[in-house]
Amino acid sequence: MPNKIMEWPRELEPLLAVLAPADIEGVYRGELDLDPKQIFALNEFEAHARHRQVRFSIPGSDAALLGEMNTLIGLGPPREAGSGRSAHVRISFHGVKPAGPR
């Protein structure tokens, strides 16, 4: 039975604004500062999406993408002190391909 495609959660859509194609074909990644609620929600989604394809789109784009989410990488404290954020993380996907219009 094929793996179910996971839809990126609406409440986390703004986090995708940092994603951009990497130097490696089919890889998208970006870094950002997150607050504790965002970290929890993102980790929860990542656990459910493991080994499944995720349909997502970059904010402002009408085209959907399909790829597998990589494990989140914690990069340390937030870049902007006093921002109310608690960590700087990298979000990334591999095997990304167009999924058609949303």
Q: What is the pLDDT of residue 2?
A: 57
- Determine the Cα–Cα distance for residues 50 and 70; give it in Å rounded to an integer: 8
Residues 18-71: tens digit of each pLDDT: 999 999 999 999 999 999 999 999 999 999 999 899 999 998 888 899 999 999
CA dihedral for 15, 16, 19, 25, sign (positive or negative): positive
pLDDT at 1 over 50: no
What pLDDT is attached to residue 17?
Answer: 95
The SS3 call for residue 17 is: helix
Element housing 47 (H / E): helix 36-49
Beta carbons of 95 and 67 less than 8 angstroms apart:
yes
Tell if the pTM clears 0.85, that is, is over it.
yes
